[in-house]
Amino acid sequence: MARGNAPRDSYHLVGISFFILGLGTLLPWNFFITAFPYFQGRLSGANSTAGSPGANHTSSGPADAFNFNNWVTLLSQLPLLLFTLLNSFLYQCIPETVRILGSLLAILFLFALTAALVKVDMSPRPFFSITLASVWFINSFCAVLQGSLFGQLGTMPSTYNTLFLSGQGLAGISAALAMLLSMASGVDSETSALGYFITPCVGILVSIGCYLSLLHLEFARYYLAKKPSQGRARELETKTELLQADEKNGIPNSPQQAALTVDLDPEKELEKELKPELEESQKPGKPSVLVVFRKIWLVALCLVLVFTVTLSVFPAITAMVTSSTGPGKWSRYFNPICCFLLFNLMDCLGRSLTSYFLWPDENSRLLPLLVCLRFLFVPLFLLCHVPERARLPILFPQDACFITFMLLFAGSNGYLVSLTMCLAPRKVLPHEKEVAGALMTFFLALGLSCGASLSFLFKALL
């Protein structure tokens, strides 16, 4: 549909709302992975409040017997893959508002439960089981939420896609900063952990408010209308008005308008022109999904490979890297700053770059090459300063090496993820963009699951 008569995004409220919604979709995941020390403290058999989110724990010892880092990463991505697949095929069966608001409310409830568990004393194994179950269900709802929002973004200008992805990047920064504040706060570990887990609950509440506001903004309603036939009718009515004006001057502007002059009944012609689009919208979901997949498969494959590399080493391997400078303040803050905060800052910067340029374009062979080069980061991180190892040597003990690798690793992840998500809708027809957005969300989850699975292998190689 032509967008020349679209209303303005007053005060950029729609853009801000999508940015905050992006933030809300990844807050749960980021707050879980940056709170590994808290969970390891609980799983080590210490008291219920052992380990604030920013406490200085290592990955060795009793807590490592659970392989908590790897399991949380894997069980975060498997339901994301499963429910994103279902969302790709069944997104038309449940109203969008129900999917989005229902998912946000469920995530809010489950994260509130996680915060409440800070006050509950229990043995490590039941706590481990409850936490992993919570991780599973939270990410199931996150999959539905992301798939629905990416589907909506497929009908929006590409700038809003970039804003949404930038918001997702900020989620990691928020979690890393919350962890650092927890470390520097000086309050007892229970209060620190409780405040840490309440923070994403507030973020989810703000996200709910932003989505509700979208339903009342004219700009959002114009692009997110779920009745394409009505929008098509409005477009054809506009064409008819233009035709009537041009007929007075004897100037048909296009073959479509020239064809409209043949029949004297505008309503009949409107119905005739709407018929192919109505038939298209009534086709089963599966054939249309396959048609769209044939158009975007290379971009989708690139997205899978980007996340496969990223999740195979982050955070399972990178969170184990320690400073080589010895005990001290820098050693305590090294991993929170150089692993989590630095990754999320560079990831957010990389995602934001696509607001200024999209290079390489969707038809370039350079994109797959750049994506494949990221596999070099796997051996580089495996050879960094991880003291708990039995097989591979340490070839890059210097802190500067790890920081350099992380800068390139995180920046390339953010940029390539945002680039592929922006290029996919450009390869399909306008009415296929929502399906393309849902499919790309599925392949995003596929890449995350592949990477999470490989993290077990790479950790064993150490």
pLDDT for res 1: 43
Q: Are residues 409 and 268 in the same domain?
A: no
Residue 420: pLDDT above 90? yes
pLDDT for res 230: 42
Q: Are residues 249 and 213 in the same domain?
A: no
**How far is 88 from 104, CA to CA, in rounded Å?**
19
pLDDT for res 9: 81
Using alpha carbons only, what angle is made at residue 432 by residues 140 and 238, rounded to the nearest 5 degrees? Answer: 125
Q: Are residues 427 and 448 in the same domain?
A: yes
202-221 burial, b for 16+ CB within 10 Å, e for fewer?
Answer: ebbeebbebbeebeebebbe
pLDDT for res 297: 94
Please check whether residue 143 is in contact with residue 26, taking contact to mean a CB–CB distance below 8 angstroms. no
**How far is 213 from 222, CA to CA, in rounded Å?**
14
Going 38 to 43 to 48 to 51, the CA torsion angle's sign is negative
Diameter over CA atoms, the chain? 86
Q: Are residues 217 and 292 in the same domain?
A: yes
- The pLDDT of 27-33, averaged and rounded, is 83
Range with the poorest average pLDDT among 40-54, 99-113, 249-263, 277-291: 249-263
**How far is 189 from 336, CA to CA, in rounded Å?**
17
pLDDT for res 92: 65
Whether residue 265 is contained in a domain is answered as yes
Please check whether residue 14 is in contact with residue 219, taking contact to mean a CB–CB distance below 8 angstroms. yes
**How far is 88 from 56, CA to CA, in rounded Å?**
41
Q: Are residues 145 and 103 in the same domain?
A: yes
Q: What is the DSSP letter of 364?
A: -
Q: Are residues 106 and 254 in the same domain?
A: no
Residue located via tokens 């800068």: 407
Range with the poorest average pLDDT among 154-158, 210-214, 292-296: 154-158
Q: Are residues 153 and 264 in the same domain?
A: no
Residue 424: pLDDT above 60? yes
Counted domains in the chain? 2
Distances (CA, A) of 176 to 30, 32, 56, 296, 320: 8, 11, 14, 34, 16
Q: What is the DSSP letter of 92?
A: T
Residue of higher predicted confidence among 240 and 354: 354
Residue 100: pLDDT above 70? yes
395: confidence class by pLDDT, cuts 50, 70, 90: very high
248: confidence class by pLDDT, cuts 50, 70, 90: very low
Tell me the pLDDT of the chain averaged across its residues: 78
Residue 436 sits in which domain range? 10-225+283-461
**How far is 391 from 384, CA to CA, in rounded Å?**
13
Residue 197: pLDDT above 90? no
**Residue 145: CATH number of its domain:** 1.20.1250.20
Whether residue 453 is contained in a domain is answered as yes
Residue 442: pLDDT above 70? yes
Distances (CA, A) of 207 to 105, 228, 251: 10, 27, 50
User: Under 8 Å CB-to-CB from 32, ≥6 apart: which residues?
Assistant: 72, 76, 135
45: confidence class by pLDDT, cuts 50, 70, 90: low
Q: Are residues 209 and 344 in the same domain?
A: yes
Residue 89: pLDDT above 90? no
pTM: 0.72
**How far is 180 from 318, CA to CA, in rounded Å?**
17
pLDDT tens, position by position, 103-141: 999 999 998 998 898 888 888 889 989 989 998 898 888
pLDDT tens, position by position, 321-343: 999 987 888 888 898 899 999 99
End-to-end alpha carbon distance in the chain? 54
